Amino acid sequence: MLTVRAPATSANLGSGFDVFGVALGAPADVIRVERAPETSITITGAGSEYIPTDPEQNTVGAVADALEAPATIRIDKGVRPSSGLGSSAASAAGAAVALNALYDRGLSREELVPIAAEGEALVSGEAHADNVAPSLLGGFTIATDDGVTQVDASVPLVACLPETSVSTRDARGVVPKTASLEDVVDTVGHAATLAVGMTRDDPELVGRGLADAIVTPERSALIDGYDAVREAALEAGATGVTVSGAGPGVLAVCRESDRRGIAGAMMDAFDAAGIESRAYQTAVGEGARLYRDG
């Protein structure tokens, strides 16, 4: 049996829609695999009751298919589905690493990105790689049609998840089809600022670079309490706040000394809006880790 711990991720980071992503130190999915004549899936953990065990409908089934690697797959969900932390992608990335090793396929982590993205196509309608890339490679990733660029980074974060859910497929429906040149110019500037900030481990630049006037305003309107939570985080010292992935999770960038206060302020603001939430005090972290259990 092989075990993989595959981290949650936060995609988009505001200005990098469908391109930017970071691996989070926590939470994570744990995937266990054993060779079998046919793929079967069992699921425990956060939100497991909402996730299909049919391999045709589960992201790990799509990965097993793509790698021609049938297996008994056990998923222990640490990443709650439809919360904006790349839950479906964490399972897909974990399965890709585990099955690649189980069947000695010899593919690199970069080569596994499009394979894991097959799982994302299954659930969201498009094979966007901005969650699977950081879950596989760790750090900060820039996923484009030309491939993935990765840098290790160490930037403190708070990911606050309300007890509501938004499906990525639905949230893709509100993304504007066009944008003004002024907004595009503005977003390119912020995206570049963010990328430089990641290379310097600079929370000020990363926080400033989250700003985006194209996708985030439409997405944040789907999240009850978003404006109050954002304000509360900024008042508590966050250097920037945005929607995590397709939401409803909210991501704050900060200095380490402010992280605890920001987490409390965000949860209090959701609470004031009548919504329970939980906050992960975390940071940009490592990619999927493989354990050989013998």
Ligand X SMILES: Nc1ncnc2c1ncn2[C@@H]1O[C@H](COP(=O)(O)OP(=O)(O)O)[C@@H](O)[C@H]1O
Choose the binding region for ligand LJ64HWYM from 11-19, 94-102, 108-116, 195-203 (rule: CB under 6 A): 11-19
Q: Does 244 bind ligand X (CB under 6 A)?
A: no
Q: Does 223 bind ligand LJ64HWYM (CB under 6 A)?
A: no
**Token couple for 92:** 């897909």
Q: Does 218 bind ligand LJ64HWYM (CB under 6 A)?
A: no
Catalytic residues: 120, 168
List the beta strands (DSSP E) in 104-196: 140-144, 147-151, 156-162
**Token couple for 106:** 């010899």
String marking each residue 8-27 x if it binds ligand X according to CB under 6 A? --------------------
| Residue pointed to by tokens 């990335």 | 93
In the chain, the amino acid numbered 109 is R
For 110-122, b where at least 16 C-beta lie within 10 A, e where not — what string? eebbbbbbbbbeb
**Token couple for 185:** 């110019």
**Looking at beta carbons only, is 132 or 137 nearer to ligand X?**
132
C-beta separation of 119 from 62 below 8 A: yes
String marking each residue 166-205 x if it binds ligand LJ64HWYM according to CB under 6 A? --x--xx---------------------------------
87 marked ligand binding residue: yes
Q: Cα separations (Å) of 45 from 96, 131, 260?
A: 20, 20, 25
C-beta separation of 168 from 244 below 8 A: no
Please report, as residue ranges, which positions from 169 to 208 form the binding site for ligand X (by CB under 6 A).
none
Q: Does 209 bind ligand LJ64HWYM (CB under 6 A)?
A: no
**Looking at beta carbons only, is 170 or 256 nearer to ligand X?**
170
String marking each residue 55-84 x if it binds ligand LJ64HWYM according to CB under 6 A? -----------------------------x
Q: Does 60 bind ligand X (CB under 6 A)?
A: yes
C-beta separation of 241 from 159 below 8 A: no
> What span, in angstroms and rounded, lies between the C-alpha atoms of 291 and 243?
33
β-strand 71-77 against 40-45: which pairing, if any? parallel
Residues lying near ligand X in the complex (CB under 6 A)? 50-52, 58-60, 75, 81-84, 86-89, 91, 123-124, 167-168, 245
Residues lying near ligand LJ64HWYM in the complex (CB under 6 A)? 11-12, 18, 84-86, 128, 130-131, 168, 171-172, 245-246
